[in-house]
C-alpha cells in the first residue's frame, strides 16, 4: 500500500514520527517555531511540541550548528534547519572543522549525530540566495550528504539520518517542496547510501539528483518521442557516492550526461565523470557530457536567470550533441 | 567573589592532603611540559607543541573545584587540563609521540587530547570553535536535567572571534549551565591584547550578554579554585552562565617555533618571579602546612613519573597502518 504526498509533507511526517519516538530529538533553527519555517516545513510543530523541542534561534548559523554539535555529543538528537544552503557557509567551520572531524580525530571516543537540514534553490533571489553547495560538503570525509528528489526518499532518509551516528547534511530544494510522490504506508527507513535507476534505457545514461532528476526525467520522456531511450539515475546520496550504479549503466548505454544545477567547475559532475572514466573507460563511445550553470553570480532579471540555470531543453540538446559526436566518431 | 587586587591570599581552608595534591598536579603539568619540550627538541614530537608552563594554577585550581559530573572542554593548549583531570601522563606523552597507545590513538596529537569517559570533550584547535560546542553540551545538561556544568576554557584571543559572541548570546538567552573561563595570558599567539581587543578586560565583554563576570588572579591556585567553586554554584543553581577571567601568563613561546620577538626578556623575567608553583610552595611553607623536604619528595616522584611517561611513549608502537581509514564514520559505509 502506498499514499501520494508532497515532499514537504514527507519531511513533516519524518520529523513527527521521530519526535514522537524519541524525546531526545529536537529541532532548532531560524524562524522554525512561531513563523513555521521559511519553507513551512515545521508549521504547527511549536504548538504541538512546545518550546523545549522546537527552538527558535537567533540569526547565528555558526552557533546554531555548534550548539547542535555539542548537544549531539551530550546525548541529544538535534535536527537543525539552516534556512538556505547559502547561509550554511556561515556555519562551515562547525560543519567541516568540527562535525566532520570529531569522531576520527578523537579516535572514535565521541560521535556527533547531528542532522543539518537546509535548502538549495533559486527564483529571482539574486547572487547570494541562489546557490547550491552540495559539492563542497561532499568533498569532506566524515560527512554524509544526501539530496533526495522524491517524497519517499525525503522521508526515509530523514528518519535514518536522525537515528544514525554520523553528521548528515540533508539538502532539500525550494522548488520541489510541492512535488508529489508515493510513500509507503507505515514506518520505513532508507539507508543513506545508493543511487537508483529510475528509468531504464539503452541509448544514453542521464545522471542527476534533487530537482535535476526531474529535468533528466523530462528530457528522457522527450527523447523517447525521437526514439532515443535514456536511462535516468537519481544519485540521491552524494557522499558516499555510489559510482558502481552509474558504471553499470554506462556499460549498457555507453554514453553519459550529468546534469547539475551548480557551476560545472570542480562540481559533482566533475567527480562523477572522473570516477566513471576510471572504471568504464573502455565502454564509453563518446566524451562524458556535463550540463550545469553558466559560471556567473546569479543575476536577478528573470530572463538572465533562466539563461544561467539549465532546463530540460539543454539536457535534450546535450544528448543529441553526444549522439552526433558518436556518429561522427563512427564515420 | 571578585578579588580585584588579585593578590589577596585565601585562608588555607583545605586539608593538607588536598593542598599537597594541588601542588603535585601543578608540578606534574610543569614537568610534563618540560619533558615534552625536550622530546620535541629530540625530534620525537612533531607538528605544533603549545606549552602550558606558567598557567598551571588556572587548570589545577579550576578542575579541583568541579564536581565529578561536570564536563570540560578546552582550546588547543590542552595538556594542563588533561593532567589536572588525572589522565595517565603516559597516555598523553604517547599521544605527543604519535603512538597507538596515545589517549586518542595517535589520531589527534598535542592539540586534540580527549577522554570521553571523564567527560573531557577535548582540545580544539580552531580558536573559539569549541565555545558553541560547550554551550551545546550545556543545552544537553539542561534538556536532559543532568545537573552538570560545562567548564569551557579559552584564551583572550578567542574573545575577538564571532563564535565567542554567538556562543555567549545563546548561553545567556537560554540560561545554560556553562562556565566560561577566559585565560587572559595577554597574547593571542604573538599579538598583545592591546593590539587585538578594543576592550582589554575580557570580563567586560560578558556584560554585553548580561552574563555575570569576575576577574581573578589566575596565578594563585586557591583563588582560582575558590572563584570557580562559586561560579559553578551559580551555574548549577539554574542562573545561567558565568564568566571568569583568569589573569595569567605564558612563560614559554606560543609554540616551540616561536622566537618571541613580540615581548622583552625583562617582561618574561618579571612574570617568572610570580611563578604560580613557587608562590604556592612558599605559601605552603609560610603557613607551616608542610616542609621543604616533603615538597622536594613530591618533585622527585613527579620527575620519576614523567621519566616513565617518556619511556612508555618511546617504547609504544606506532598506529597500525591498516587502521588508517577506520573511524571516519561511526557507522559503516559500503558505497563506492
The CATH code of the domain that includes A221 is 3.40.50.920
Tell me the fold of B49-67+119-256+265-301.
Rossmann fold (3.40.50)
Residue among B105, B141, B335 whose CB faces A241 most closely: B335
Residue among B121, B129, B136 whose CB faces A110 most closely: B121
Residues B72-100: pLDDT tens digits?
A: 999 999 999 999 999 999 999 999 999 99
The answer as to whether A22 is a domain residue is: yes
Count up the domains in chain A and report the number: 2
A154/A204 same-domain check: no
A133/A26 same-domain check: yes
Residue among B108, B116, B132 whose CB faces A62 most closely: B132
A50 touches chain B (CB under 8 A): no
**Which run of H or E residues covers position A157?**
helix A151-163
C-alpha A190/C-alpha B271 separation (Å) is 61
Return the number of other C-beta atoms located less than 10 Å from residue A325's C-beta.
15
Q: Identify whether the C-beta of residue B131 lies closer than 8 Å to the C-beta of residue B243.
A: no
With a cut of 70, say whether residue A329 has pLDDT above it: no
For residue B100, the model assigns a pLDDT of 98
Share of chain B above pLDDT 90, in %: 83
Q: Give the mean model confidence (pLDDT) for residues A212-237.
A: 98
The domain boundary residue, chosen from A184, A217, A240:
A184
For residue A331, the model assigns a pLDDT of 52
For residue B258, the model assigns a pLDDT of 85
The answer as to whether A189 is a domain residue is: no
B136 contacts in A (CB within 8 Å)?
66-74, 78
What is the DSSP code string of B174-232? TT--EEEEEEE-SEETTEEGGGT-SSS-THHHHHTTT--EEEEETT-HHHHHHHHHHHH
The domain boundary residue, chosen from A158, A184, A210:
A184
Q: Which of A13, A18, A30, A61 is catalytic?
A: A61
Q: Give the mean model confidence (pLDDT) for residues B32-39.
A: 97
A6/A32 same-domain check: yes
A215/A139 same-domain check: no
Q: Which residue of B has its CA nearest to A64?
A: B132
The domain boundary residue, chosen from A133, A151, A184:
A184
A135 touches chain B (CB under 8 A): no
For residue B335, the model assigns a pLDDT of 67
The answer as to whether A191 is a domain residue is: no
Residues A35-78: pLDDT tens digits?
A: 999 999 999 999 999 999 999 999 999 999 999 999 999 999 99
A30/A50 same-domain check: yes
Q: Identify whether the C-beta of residue B153 lies closer than 8 Å to the C-beta of residue B81.
A: yes
Return the number of other C-beta atoms located less than 10 Å from residue B252's C-beta.
19
pTM of the model as a whole: 0.95
Q: Which residue of B has its CA nearest to A279?
A: B336
The answer as to whether A98 is a domain residue is: yes
A280/A154 same-domain check: no
Which residues are bridge partners to B123 per DSSP?
B74
Give the model's confidence band at B6: pLDDT under 50 very low, under 70 low, under 90 confident, else very high: very low
CATH code of A100's domain: 3.40.50.970
> What ipTM goes with this model?
0.96
With a cut of 60, say whether residue B5 has pLDDT above it: no
To which residue does cell 550540463 refer? A291
Domain of residue A68, residue span? 2-184
Q: Identify whether the C-beta of residue B256 lies closer than 8 Å to the C-beta of residue B200.
A: no
Residue A290 C-beta-side C-alpha neighbours within 13 Å = 19
C-alpha A100/C-alpha A111 separation (Å) is 10
Domain ranges across chain B = 49-67+119-256+265-301
A284/A257 same-domain check: yes
With a cut of 90, say whether residue A169 has pLDDT above it: yes
Give the model's confidence band at B3: pLDDT under 50 very low, under 70 low, under 90 confident, else very high: very low
Listed in sequence order, the residues at least 6 apart from A248 whose beta carbon sits closer than 8 Å to its beta carbon are: none
Amino acid at each position: 500500500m502506498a499514499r501520494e504526498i508532497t515532499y514537504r509533507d514527507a519531511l513533516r511526517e519524518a520529523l513527527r514520527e521521530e519526535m514522537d519516538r524519541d524525546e531526545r530529538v529536537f529541532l532548532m533553527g531560524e524562524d522554525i517555531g512561531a513563523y513555521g519555517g521559511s519553507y513551512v516545513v515545521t508549521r504547527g510543530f511549536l504548538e504541538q511540541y512546545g518550546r523545549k523541542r522546537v527552538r527558535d534561534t537567533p540569526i547565528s548559523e555558526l552557533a546554531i550548528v555548534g550548539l547542535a554539535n555539542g548537544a549531539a555529543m551530550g546525548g541529544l538528537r538535534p535536527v537543525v534547519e539552516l534556512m538556505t544552503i547559502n547561509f550554511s557557509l556561515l556555519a562551515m567551520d562547525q560543519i567541516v572543522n568540527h562535525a566532520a572531524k570529531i569522531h576520527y580525530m578523537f579516535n572514535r571516543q565521541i560521535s556527533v549525530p547531528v542532522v543539518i537540514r537546509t535548502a538549495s534553490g533559486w527564483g529571482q533571489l539574486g547572487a547570494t540566495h541562489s546557490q547550491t553547495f552540495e559539492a563542497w560538503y561532499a568533498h569532506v570525509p566524515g560527512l554524509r550528504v544526501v539530496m533526495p528528489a522524491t517524497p519517499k526518499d525525503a522521508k526515509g532518509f530523514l528518519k535514518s539520518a536522525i537515528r544514525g551516528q554520523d553528521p548528515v547534511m540533508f539538502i532539500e530544494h525550494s522548488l520541489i517542496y510541492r512535488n508529489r510522490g508515493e510513500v509507503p504506508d507505515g514506518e520505513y527507513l532508507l539507508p543513506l547510501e545508493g543511487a537508483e535507476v529510475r528509468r531504464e534505457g539503452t541509448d544514453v545514461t542521464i545522471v542527476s539528483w534533487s530537482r535535476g532528476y526531474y529535468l533528466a526525467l523530462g528530457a528522457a520522456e522527450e527523447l523517447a518521442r525521437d526514439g532515443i531511450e535514456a536511462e535516468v539515475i537519481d544519485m540521491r546520496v552524494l557522499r558516499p557516492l555510489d559510482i558502481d550504479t552509474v558504471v553499470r549503466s554506462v556499460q549498457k548505454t555507453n554514453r553519459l550526461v550529468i546534469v547539475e544545477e551548480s557551476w560545472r567547475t570542480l562540481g559533482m559532475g566533475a567527480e562523477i565523470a572522473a570516477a566513471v572514466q576510471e572504471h568504464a573507460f573502455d565502454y564509453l563511445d563518446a566524451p562524458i557530457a556535463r550540463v550545469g550553470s553558466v559560471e556567473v553570480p546569479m543575476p536577478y532579471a528573470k530572463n538572465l536567470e533562466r539563461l544561467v540555470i539549465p532546463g530540460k531543453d539543454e539536457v535534450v540538446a546535450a544528448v543529441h550533441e553526444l549522439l552526433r559526436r558518436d556518429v561522427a566518431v563512427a564515420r | 567573589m571578585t578579588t580585584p587586587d588579585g593578590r589577596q591570599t585565601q585562608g588555607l581552608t583545605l586539608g593538607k592532603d588536598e593542598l599537597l595534591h594541588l601542588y603535585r598536579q601543578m608540578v606534574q603539568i610543569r614537568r610534563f611540559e618540560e619533558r615534552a619540550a625536550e622530546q620535541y627538541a629530540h625530534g620525537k614530537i612533531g607538528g605544533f607543541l603549545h606549552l602550558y608552563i606558567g598557567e598551571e594554577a588556572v587548570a589545577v585550581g579550576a578542575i579541583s573545584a568541579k564536581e565529578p559530573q561536570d564536563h570540560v572542554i578546552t582550546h588547543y593548549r590542552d595538556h594542563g587540563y588533561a593532567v589536572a583531570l588525572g589522565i595517565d601522563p603516559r597516555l598523553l606523552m604517547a599521544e605527543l609521540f604519535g603512538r597507538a597507545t596515545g589517549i586518542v590513538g595517535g589520531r589527534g596529537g598535542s592539540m586534540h587530547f580527549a577522554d570521553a569517559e571523564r567527560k573531557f570533550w577535548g582540545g580544539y584547535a580552531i580558536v573559539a570553535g569549541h565555545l558553541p560546542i560547550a554551550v551545546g553540551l550545556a543545552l544537553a545538561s539542561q534538556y536532559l536535567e543532568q545537573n552538570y556544568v560545562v567548564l569551557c576554557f579559552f584564551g583572550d584571543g578567542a574573545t575577538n572571534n564571532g563564535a565567542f559572541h554567538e556562543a555567549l548570546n545563546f548561553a545567556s538567552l537560554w540560561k545554560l549551565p556553562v562556565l566560561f573561563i577566559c585565560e587572559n595570558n595577554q597574547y593571542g599567539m604573538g599579538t598583545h591584547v592591546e593590539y587585538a581587543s578594543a576592550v582589554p578586560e575580557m570580563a567586560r565583554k560578558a556584560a554585553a550578554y548580561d552574563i555575570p563576570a569576575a576577574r581573578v588572579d589566575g596565578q594563585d591556585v586557591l583563588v582560582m579554585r575558590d572563584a570557580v567553586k562559586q561560579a559553578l554554584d551559580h551555574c548549577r543553581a539554574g542562573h545561567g552562565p558565568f564568566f571568569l577571567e583568569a589573569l595569567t601568563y605564558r612563560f614559554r613561546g606560543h609554540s616551540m617555533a616561536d622566537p618571541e620577538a613580540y615581548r622583552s626578556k625583562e617582561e618574561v623575567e618579571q612574570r617568572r618571579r610570580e611563578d604560580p608553583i613557587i608562590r604556592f610552595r612558599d605559601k605552603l611553607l609560610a603557613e607551616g602546612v608542610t616542609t621543604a623536604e616533603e615538597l622536594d619528595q613530591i618533585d622527585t616522584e613527579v620527575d620519576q613519573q614523567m621519566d616513565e611517561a617518556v619511556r612508555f611513549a618511546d617504547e609504544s608502537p606506532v598506529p597500525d597502518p591498516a587502521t588508517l581509514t577506520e573511524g571516519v564514520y561511526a557507522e559503516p559505509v559500503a558505497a563506492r
